Structure 1
Amino acid sequence: MGAEKLPSPLPKKDGQAPLILGLQPSALVDHVARVDWSLLDQIPGERGGSQSVAFEELEHILSEVKTHILPSPDDPSPLRTIAGGSVANTIRGLTAEFGVTCGIIGACGEDEQGRLFVHNMTFNGVNLSKLRTKKGPTAQCVCLVDAVGNRTMRPCLSNAAKLQADELTRDDFKGSKWLILRYGIYNLEIIHAAIRIAKEEGVSVSLDLASFEMVRNFRSPLLELLESGDIDLCFANEDEATELLRGEQNTDPEAAIEFLAEHCRWAVVTLGHNGCIVKHGKEIVRVPAIGEAQPTDATGAGDLFASGFLYGLIKGLSLEDSCRVGSCSGGSVIRSLGGEVTPENRQWMYKQMQIKGLPVPNLCKSST
């Protein structure tokens, strides 16, 4: 099918497989900008969510962004273009912030966006030996951030280079401990294939519910996925949790956490500035958010929460401390544009972890 594996940009230590794998069938590049509300009013779809657009619409939005950018004295780059996608954000956070060995399974195009994705992820220490190059464009997404930090996403995935289900092999998963997935109806075939192989290899599975539109429009196959019992850890934000229980008498976060915990070993519902609620077995914890209440950009907040929470799990921290690390990590990324933590905000995160008595990663060593 014209696919070929990129050479590994990272030396494999003793042939060791990445501890955590992220499946992102299509590599993705984010264009992140702070814009005034008038632009958001002109774009089809609900504000605050994620809705796919055609390439022509993506180009139109990008051209309009230039005339609607909000100036920011704290950020000399009003438009940032970086490797993106929920899974990539989480994986990058685990490597760059926590020193956990991670890799990406997926495909990118042989274009400028594909090269940018590879460079950004490699620079942050992600193993790309399982990333294939294919003909076709690399997927892109416009992330529009309003004056109060809320983000609206418009991804363009049409005709993008994409890994197919029949291209997955057991060798892709062998030796790893966790597989990170993002729910998506167009990726359902490869998601099921990846879960099947992961379970055969003894790999635990983490699923993010993606967006409230995805849950609302494709709730039935999502319920089947959850009820299969193959999802070990599930992350949902408050809007996604509400959509998951739509039609039920009670749709609050407590009801959602109980529902998810019936099917998953760990259930997590993030609540924005109200923190999170998590259940594992019979244990339920609530942890407040960490950092200023007013974010610069909420892009990646849930993804980086997942990075910190997974770090806590693999380090054997208590459920509450794993949530605290997640809150520190999620709180660090909302302090600047995009789903990547800046060096300054990384140091802010480590300081918050020290204040709360949490183990700060020693990035001089491989942390697994």
Structure 2
Amino acid sequence: MVAEALPNSHEAPPVVLGLQPAALIDNVAPVDWSLLDQIPGDRGGSIPVQKDELEHILKELDTHVTAAPLKKMAGGSVANTVRGLSVGFGVATGIIGAYGDDEQGQLFVSNMGFSGVSISRLRKKKGSTGQCVCLVDDSGNRTMRPCLSSAVKIQADELSKDDFTGSKWLVLRYAVLNLEVIKAAIGFAKQEGLSVSLDLASFEMVRNYRSELRQLLESGNIDLCFANEDEAAELLRGEEEAGPEAALEFLSRHCSWAVVTLGSKGCIAKHDKEVVQVPAIGETIATDATGAGDLFASGFLYGLIKGLPLEECCKMGSCSGGSVIRALGGEVTPENWQWMHKQLQLKNLPVPDIRNL
């Protein structure tokens, strides 16, 4: 399969690079329990589906009366994080991956490019672009069903050192099917002096592929790791101490920075011997939890890039994560970026100098 790279206009290297092997379009819809009851698997989780299952769910959504229409946008954890850093914090970001020569692929490229993310490291390939259905219940919880089995994606041997030269951070999401390209990217990143951030993806991924994940963490190549409460529980399942604090301690033995997000209870984080606990920001009832962890990572990384103390990094993350749950989908609206900037001002945190919000 021939990959076609997008042209590079001799841009400066992005500060933060995201690796998302397969481009992804999110189909986000508010639903009620009657539809969720028809979808196999745990509510609130993320389970891969085949193309016919995806099409079946989308067809059901067409006939399912909801208060809001289906929203389509570039998605995927890494895309959400780098887009958030670009739009909400003014950090130069780029994304590495592949997209198909279809309508979804074009939508992904245009959405990321419009958001200021460098798309010169995206490869166009013949085939289909990944899609995900994000079903949001009236409590704001999202159930995700990604379809990536037939999607084009970038391979390990398509990466080069030049993709990483001059950048400072590489953002990754754990996925066992992408382990080869993840390890290749980490190898180049370390050669080029980048720090590496890893998100644990989902509790199902941690549960089913825990040994591979532990090996990755124990390699010593992961500088920053994000886990939510459910992923943290799976990481230490069966052990005597398996709560968020124990998971934080485990992660901090292998990573310079470790963060466990606790939903409405905020987060705990550790760097060296310092441990902080930060409450959630704002009193918003989540409209949609999609992207909350991804945007938390945007804010936390911004804090690290700016050299802020650990507690302030957590507060930046909490404000950023709180901004995305106020509307459907993993892309923050201009109004909600303004809400976040107001929260930063109220807490005497640095407000990014962003135009056109």
Q: What TM-score do the two structures reach when normalised by structure 1? A: 0.95
1:38 aligns with 2:29: no
Tell whether the 8 Å contact from 1:36 to 1:69 is kept in structure 2 after alignment.
no
Tell whether the 8 Å contact from 1:291 to 1:332 is kept in structure 2 after alignment.
no
1:193 aligns with 2:184: yes
What SS is found at the alignment partner of 2:29?
Answer: strand
Q: Which of the numbers 63, 66, 69 marks the counterpart of 1:70?
A: 66
CA distance in 2, matches of 1:337, 1:85: 14
Please give the per-residue CA displacement for 1:256-292, whole angstroms capped at 9, x wherever unaligned: 1000000000000000000000000000001111123
- How many Å apart are 1:66 and its aligned residue? 2.5
Tell whether the 8 Å contact from 2:46 to 2:143 is kept in structure 1 after alignment.
yes
Q: Unaligned 5+ residue runs, structure 2?
A: none
Tell whether the 8 Å contact from 2:284 to 2:326 is kept in structure 1 after alignment.
no
Q: How does 1:353-368 map to 2 (within 5 A)?
A: 353-364=344-355
Q: Counterpart of 2:3?
A: 3
Tell whether the 8 Å contact from 2:164 to 2:192 is kept in structure 1 after alignment.
yes
Tell whether the 8 Å contact from 1:36 to 1:68 is kept in structure 2 after alignment.
no
Q: Counterpart of 2:291?
A: 300
Letter in 2 for 1:289: A
Q: CA RMSD in A?
A: 1.1
1:281 aligns with 2:277: no
Tell whether the 8 Å contact from 1:257 to 1:269 is kept in structure 2 after alignment.
yes
- The share of aligned pairs that are identical, in percent, is 71
- How many Å apart are 1:69 and its aligned residue? 4.3
Letter in 1 for 2:19: L
Q: Unaligned 5+ residue runs, structure 1?
A: 72-76
Distance 1:38 1:122, change over 3 A: same
Distance 1:321 1:69, change over 3 A: farther
1:110 aligns with 2:101: yes
Q: Counterpart of 2:161?
A: 170
Q: How does 1:19-168 map to 2 (within 5 A)?
A: 19-71=15-67, 77-168=68-159
CA distance in 1, matches of 2:90, 2:210: 35
Tell whether the 8 Å contact from 2:22 to 2:98 is kept in structure 1 after alignment.
yes
1:230 aligns with 2:226: no
Please give the per-residue CA displacement for 1:23-53, whole angstroms capped at 9, x wherever unaligned: 0000000000000111111111111110000
Letter in 2 for 1:59: E
- How many Å apart are 1:293 and its aligned residue? 4.6
Q: How does 1:266-277 map to 2 (within 5 A)?
A: 266-277=257-268
Q: Which of the numbers 12, 16, 24 marks the counterpart of 1:16?
A: 12
Letter in 2 for 1:53: V
Letter in 2 for 1:29: I
- How many Å apart are 1:79 and its aligned residue? 1.1
Q: What TM-score do the two structures reach when normalised by structure 2? A: 0.98
Q: How does 1:251-266 map to 2 (within 5 A)?
A: 251-266=242-257
CA distance in 2, matches of 1:67, 1:290: 37
Letter in 1 for 2:44: G
Q: Which of the numbers 316, 323, 334 marks the counterpart of 1:343?
A: 334
Tell whether the 8 Å contact from 1:232 to 1:266 is kept in structure 2 after alignment.
yes
Tell whether the 8 Å contact from 1:273 to 1:293 is kept in structure 2 after alignment.
no
